[in-house]
């Protein structure tokens, strides 16, 4: 679809660099995909809800020590 629109050149340049795209069309399409994906991930994360974590310094240290023993074997 062809659409005529004015685009901020500095912003386009930044987007091209961030997305590693060459053409305006590639940059716009990659930007749109990125926005859609971010929205989908937000919906997915919201659907998962929150995971209750009951962590203490002692528990974290215990898990780290346990992990280090597993790695050594």
What is the mean pLDDT of the segment spanning 23-35? 97
pLDDT of residue 64: 87
Average pLDDT, the chain: 89
What is the mean pLDDT of the segment spanning 20-38? 97
Q: b or e along 36-51 (b: 16 or more beta carbons within 10 Å of the residue's beta carbon)?
A: eeeeeeeeeeeeeeee
pLDDT of residue 5: 93
pLDDT digit string, tens, across residues 31-52? 999 999 999 999 998 888 877 7
pLDDT of residue 72: 61
């Amino acid at each position: 679809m062809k659409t005529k629109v004015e685009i901020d050149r500095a912003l386009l340049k930044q987007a091209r660099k961030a997305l590693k795209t060459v053409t305006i069309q590639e940059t716009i399409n990659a930007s749109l995909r990125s926005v859609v994906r971010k929205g989908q991930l937000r919906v997915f994360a919201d659907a998962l809800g929150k995971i209750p974590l009951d962590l203490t310094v002692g528990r974290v240290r215990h898990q780290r020590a346990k992990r280090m023993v597993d790695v050594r074997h």
